[in-house]
Chains A and B, each alone.
Chain A
Amino acid sequence: AQKVTQAQTEISVVEKEDVTLDCVYETRDTTYYLFWYKQPPSGELVFLIRRNSFDEQNEISGRYSWNFQKSTSSFNFTITASQVVDSAVYFCALSEFDTSYDKVIFGPGTSLSVIP
């Protein structure tokens, strides 16, 4: 069965610090998608990134970077030089390939507080 674990329930950092959010997943499929979503206090879930299981290249987008390692079933998310606007709940998610729909399994989320 598929499962997503985010062991860090809450993290607090001081502004400008770097922070890494951990994500570990379980799946029996060899083909799958991984995602990160951000949920700011306003409540809307915002799509950040999608990665398919064949692409292990790390990705950088501005202050955000993602490290995908199939060997450890991890898809970690790093925010460099954190800002107060980064305060949100972040969800890691998994979708398996062999479904005819996008049934996405979400992790429990990590609440990030960036303190000015």
Chain B
Amino acid sequence: DVKVTQSSRYLVKRTGEKVFLECVQDMDHENMFWYRQDPGLGLRLIYFSYDVKMKEKGDIPEGYSVSREKKERFSLILESASTNQTSMYLCASSLWGGGLFFGSGTQLSVL
């Protein structure tokens, strides 16, 4: 079975903290993605990676960075968390053209 695992389901952080969201996939997919989902704004792409150590900005990369040191792991980093980064974060992976497979999401609250 296809499996994308996000390390935390719920996370509460303080403003200014450095936050790491981890995502691991076991399907040997080349592509990995980070989206955020907000009411009324839908799903917005933050960053994606199509190979190890490769990364590309999505539609809303400001305030975020990513790391992909191994094929199966894609991390999203909030260098200095702010309240407007409170959101549901969704990780996904894909084989080209095969559709995205999502993790269960991390609901991040920044206080």
Chain B positions within 8 Å of A109 at CB level: 42
Residues of A that sit less than 8 Å from B by CB: 33, 35, 37, 42-47, 50, 52, 91, 93, 95, 97, 100-104, 106-109
B68, chain A: closest CB distance, angstroms: 13
Q: Is B31 an interface residue (CB 8 A)?
A: yes
Chain A positions within 8 Å of B56 at CB level: 101
Q: Is B94 an interface residue (CB 8 A)?
A: yes
Partner of A100, one of B33, B42, B50, B90: B50
Chain B positions within 8 Å of A97 at CB level: 97
The 3 closest A-B pairs by CB, nearest first: A45-B102, A101-B50, A102-B94
Interface residues on B, range: 20 to 34
Chain A positions within 8 Å of B101 at CB level: 47
Specify the chain A residue showing the minimal Cβ separation from B96: A102
Can you list 7 A-B pairs, Cβ within 8 angstroms, ordered by A?
A43-B107, A44-B102, A44-B104, A46-B102, A93-B100, A101-B48, A102-B31
Q: Are A35 and B42 in contact (CB under 8 A)?
A: no
Q: Are B94 and A91 in contact (CB under 8 A)?
A: no
Given contacts A43-B105, A101-B50, contact A106 B42 (CB under 8 A): yes
Q: Are A107 and B88 in contact (CB under 8 A)?
A: no
Chain B positions within 8 Å of A52 at CB level: 97
A50 to B98, CA, bound (A): 7
Chain B positions within 8 Å of A45 at CB level: 90, 92, 100, 102, 105
